[in-house]
Structure 1
Amino acid sequence: MFITNAKPEWQKGSLSDLITVKYGKDHKKLADGHYPVLGSGGIMRYVDRPLYNKESVLIPRMGTPGNVLYVNEPFWSGDIMFYTEMKRNNIAKFVFHFVRSKDLVSLNNGSAVPSMTTQIMNGMELSIPDDQQLNTFETLVAPMYKTIQENTKQSKNLAIMHDTILPKLMSEELDGTNIKSKAAKLSFK
């Protein structure tokens, strides 16, 4: 919508016009808790306090530059990730899609280990949609992001139930002989 179909009247700028790039921090000395520590591969562990609690886009600093993440809950960013602070409203999802559209591997600064720098991130040129267009985009995609978040949460809950019930069925601690008929009755309610 915006990345490949930018309107000529949109302001030309750089990513630094929209975001402030921040360095993630080491999490090893933090106590366990319920805030996710995010790395380029996803959740690494959970800690007792967040590093940041607003909408953000996380970009790998080293290793796998293509694993860009969008986050809309309190989190801790690992020290091999950048996280971003938005300078305007309704731009995080736009920034996420813009950064994901870039070939970050070709922009990297490392030789043996791919590396991204704040200078590379800040200098990315783009056409910046006006506030009305960004609000339209946000209105369009926000329900999709909410559905994804709810589906992810439900999937985690189902995995927990699976991991709890299956061992009990296997050890015959639970009687599973009538599960199919009970499940069929539940699905029609």
Structure 2
Amino acid sequence: MFITNRNPNWKNGVLSDLVTVRYGKDHKKFEDGIYPVYGSGGIIRYIEKPLYIGESVLIPRKGTLNNVMYVNGAFWSVDTMFYTEMLHSNVAKFVYHFVKSKNLASMNAGSAVPSMTTNILNAMQLYIPDNETLSTFEKIVSPMYSQMQENEEQSKRLANLRDTLLPRLMSGELDVSSIDF
């Protein structure tokens, strides 16, 4: 859609035309809560306050640079991650796939620890599709993203159920010997 069917009239731009790249912040001073805290490996804990609410692309600033994530909701991003604020509607998933397709590790700006900078990210060149194409892409992929989010929520519920039942099964508190499988 964006490569083989690229419209020659699409504007040549840079990532900063679509998003504002923001620095994550330290989370250690907050109490536990319901908002996920993302590090480069995924969710590391839940705290009482979100840093940002909405669609965002999380990009590692230090360490494993290629672990780009898409988030939609209230979250916190650690200080070794960037998060993005969308400047236009219908661009978050496009930006995610664009950034995810890049080998960020090859753009490393660090010497000892792999590092990414806002200057490198902001200057990433891309063709910016017209609003109609972005809307079409959003309509195609949104149901898939919704299903992935539902699957994640169901997986969490099942893991909680397992964590509740397994100790009771192992201790003999729950007896399932009479159940015919």
Return the TM-score normalized by structure 1. Answer: 0.93
For 1:127 and 1:78, the matched residues in 2 are separated by 30
How far apart are 1:34 and its partner, in Å?
A: 0.4
Structure number with the higher strand fraction is 2
Q: Which runs of 4+ in 1 moved over 4 A?
A: none
Partner of 2:154: 154
Structure 1 counterpart of 2:59, one-letter code:
I
Partner of 2:60: 60
Unpaired runs of 5+ residues, structure 1, are 182-189
For 2:129 and 2:140, the matched residues in 1 are separated by 15
How far apart are 1:178 and its partner, in Å?
A: 3.3
SS at 2:99 equivalent: helix
For 2:143 and 2:174, the matched residues in 1 are separated by 40
Cα 1:5–1:107 change in 2 (3 A) is farther
Q: Does the CA contact (< 8 Å) of 1:3 and 1:98 recur in 2?
A: no
Say whether 1:13 aligns with 2:29: no
For 1:26 and 1:179, the matched residues in 2 are separated by 50
For 2:175 and 2:85, the matched residues in 1 are separated by 52
Partner of 2:93: 93
Return the TM-score normalized by structure 2. Answer: 0.97
Query: What is the root-mean-square deviation in Å for CA atoms of aligned residues?
Result: 1.1
SS at 1:73 equivalent: strand
Aligned residue pairs, count: 181
Identity of aligned residues (%): 64
Cα 1:39–1:3 change in 2 (3 A) is farther
Unpaired runs of 5+ residues, structure 2, are none
How far apart are 1:31 and its partner, in Å?
A: 1.3
Cα 1:155–1:167 change in 2 (3 A) is same
Partner of 1:51: 51
How far apart are 1:3 and its partner, in Å?
A: 4.7
